[in-house]
Chains A and B, each alone.
Chain A
Amino acid sequence: MRRFLPAIVLLALFLLCFFAPAIEHLLNISSNETDLANRFAPAAGNHLLGTDELGRDIFVRLLYGGQVSLTAALAAGLASAFIGTSVGMAAGYLGGKWDAILMRLTDLLIALPSLPLLIILSALDLQKLGFSADIANSPRVSLYKIIALISILSWTTVARLARARTLTLRQMDFVRAARALGVGDFRIVLRHIFPNLMNTVVVATALAVGNIILMESVLSFLGLGIQPPLPSWGNMLTHAEETIWEHARLSVYPGMMIFVTVLAFNFLGDALQQTLDPKGTGK
Chain B
Amino acid sequence: MNILGRTVQALLTLLAVSFLVYILIGLMPGDPVDLMAAGNPHMTPADLARLRAEYGLDQPLLARYGRWLIAALHGDLGYSRSYNLPVFEVIGPRAAHTVVLFGTALLITVALALPMGVYAARFPGGIADRMINFFCLAGVSLPHFWLGLLLICLFAVTLGWLPAATTLSEGSLWAQAKSLALPVITLVVAELAVYVRHLRAAMLEALRADHIRTARAKGCSESRIVWRHAFQNALTPALTVFMLDLGTIIGGAVTVETIFGFPGMGKLLFDAVNGNDYNLAVADLLILTCFVVVANFAADGLYVVLDPRVSLAGKK
Which residues of A come within 8 Å of B, CB atoms?
104, 107-108, 110-125, 127-129, 210, 214, 217-218, 221-224, 237, 240-241, 244-245, 248, 251-252, 255, 258-259, 262-263, 265-267, 270, 283
Contact = CB atoms under 8 A, between A and B. Distances in A.
A35 B78 CA distance: 48
Given A108-B13, A122-B273, 12 more contacts: A111-B292, A112-B289, A113-B288, A113-B289, A116-B284, A119-B254, A120-B21, A218-B143, A223-B274, A244-B157, A258-B143, A266-B140
A270 B288 CA distance: 32
A255 B266 contact: no
Nearest to A207: B140
Given A112-B247, A116-B288, A127 B29 contact: yes
Contact of A237 (B30, B149, B258): B149
6 contacts: A115-B248, A118-B251, A124-B24, A221-B143, A259-B146, A262-B142
A119 B149 contact: no
A237 B145 CA distance: 9
A15 B251 CA distance: 32
A223 B266 CA distance: 15
Given A112-B292, A224-B273, A244 B145 contact: no
A115 B251 contact: yes
Contact of A114 (B138, B146, B150, B247): B247
Contact of B269 (A120, A127, A217, A265): A120
Contacts of A104: 9
Contacts of A125: 27-30
Contacts of B289: 111-113
Contacts of B181: none
B306 to A, nearest CB: 21
A210 B122 CA distance: 29
A221 B137 contact: no
Interface in B86-145: 137-138, 140-145
Contacts of A224: 273
A210 B244 CA distance: 18
Given A120-B273, A258-B146, A113 B157 contact: no
A222 B258 contact: yes
Contacts of B252: 115
Contact of A117 (B28, B255, B285, B296): B285
B152 interface: yes
A116 B254 contact: yes
B24 A120 contact: yes
Max chain B CB contacts within 10 Å: which of A214, A217, A224?
Answer: A214
Interface string B273-316: 11000000110110011011100100000000000000000000
A206 B142 CA distance: 16
Contacts, number: 137
B254 A244 contact: no
Interface of B: 9, 13, 16-17, 21, 24, 26-30, 137-138, 140-146, 149-150, 152-153, 157, 201, 244, 247-248, 250-252, 254-255, 258-259, 266, 269-270, 273-274, 281-282, 284-285, 288-289, 291-293, 296
Contacts of B27: 124-125, 128-129
B288 A251 contact: no
A106 B28 CA distance: 25
Contacts of B21: 120
Max chain B CB contacts within 10 Å: which of A108, A111, A245?
Answer: A111
The secondary-structure label for the interface of chain A is: helix
Contacts of A128: 26-29
A113 B292 contact: yes
Contacts of B288: 113, 116
B259 A113 contact: no
A241 B259 contact: yes
A218 B157 contact: no
B254 A115 contact: yes
B273 A266 contact: no
Contacts of A245: 157
B149 A244 contact: yes
Given A111-B289, A120-B21, A241-B149, A259 B28 contact: no
Nearest to B247: A113
Contact of B153 (A107, A121, A129, A244): A244
Contact of B141 (A108, A115, A119, A210): A210
Given A108-B16, A112-B247, A120 B281 contact: yes
B248 A114 contact: yes
Nearest to B293: A111
B254 A240 contact: no
Nearest to B146: A255
Contacts of B146: 217, 237, 251, 255, 258-259
A266 B141 contact: yes
B59 to A, nearest CB: 17
A248 B153 CA distance: 7
A64 to B, nearest CB: 19
Given A123-B29, A237-B145, A255-B150, A111 B281 contact: no
Contact of A111 (B13, B152, B269): B13
Contacts of B140: 210, 266
Given A116-B266, A240-B149, A267-B137, A111 B251 contact: no
A122 B29 CA distance: 11
Given A119-B270, A245-B157, A266-B140, A110 B145 contact: no
A218 B256 CA distance: 10
